[in-house]
Structure 1
């Protein structure tokens, strides 16, 4: 069960700290809660491009916040570039929080909502292109689809941005990844209705267009 108050409480405490000014909320939660309001999103994804940030210091801060919120840590991962906390509240609600030291390439302007620093639509969109390349998760297909349907951003623009983040991105491999949506049976909980048939056709057509761009 998603507890948005729990998300809000964590974000408010986190962004009240001076240490956190380089981080920003991104991914599905940023997209749904602050732009499109199209689906339920359970996770908090906090990224930074600052390569000098000491993740052990961030970890110390997060542990303090989780204690203040009386959240039990079910699982924890600590590395120099990645932190993950899977937590549970006393009422049984779970909250997964990821901290990522990302590559120093970012597109668009951040926006502030209260104290929370929110990623730009174009940066979220370019990351969704790359995420689809790396995994077959319905929520990523849904997110990119709604970005392209509900905003002025175009796929070719997001693809071009994505190539600047991952030089290995190619039309062939991305087209193959897009075909994987045909095998997906479990979708995220939606806040708006959408036509699954149109979604599948959209990605089938897009994959075909990508393959046509490949020089023989």
Structure 2
């Protein structure tokens, strides 16, 4: 199944490279294929600060020439939030490849690199996106009126941050250059996330390193955030 998904991904990316002008691949699949090679990632997330709908339509039209059943699943257009179009391509074995075209409201001027003609977000921009996925972007009040931020808290985002911290830049150092509200969001996540739930959710990921230890990951991330806190208050 992984092989069939990978073949479709490669074909989609080849078409994307020819037809896209402002969108670039980001997310977990960009990390897997071009930076970390750490876990199998299925979905293709294409981001653009311009969010050009005619460009999306041009890419989809070209994909329909090679794939049957390309479908617009839904579209998100809510004032104050990123615009998103969600597409799917059926794959043998009753699976789907999901394609998300997303308006980037997180990175104002993302750095784009080319790999084999494919536009890819820089690893630093994806790192930043992953932190926002954990922390969220909006502040809400808790029961006692304190303002808190909370993101989607998916295990894949936590694992990606762990690998980014180990292979690209330690988390406690990277956190120093992100906005204070996101720094507080990461500290809040560290203080509140369920260690047990995270360890269980990690079992659903196809992690390439068979010696991976979830407990060691949790201890490592806790140490990174504790280091950030201690250096911030010195």
Matches within 5 A, 1:47-196: 47-50=47-50, 53-55=51-53, 57-73=54-70, 76-79=73-76, 81-103=83-105, 105-107=108-110, 109-133=111-135, 134-151=151-168, 153-163=169-179, 168-171=181-184, 173-178=185-190, 179-180=192-193, 182=195, 183-184=197-198, 185-187=200-202, 188-193=205-210, 194-196=212-214
The answer for the alignment partner of 2:141 in structure 1 is: none
The answer for the alignment partner of 1:46 in structure 2 is: 46
Gap runs ≥5 in structure 1: none
TM-score by length of 2: 0.76
Give aligned pairs, total.
204
Q: Tell me the CA shift for residue 24 of structure 1.
A: 0.9
The question of 1:199 aligning with 2:196 is answered no
Q: Tell me the CA shift for residue 203 of structure 1.
A: 2.4
CA-atom RMSD in angstroms: 2.4
Gap runs ≥5 in structure 2: 78-82, 136-150
Q: Tell me the CA shift for residue 181 of structure 1.
A: 5.2
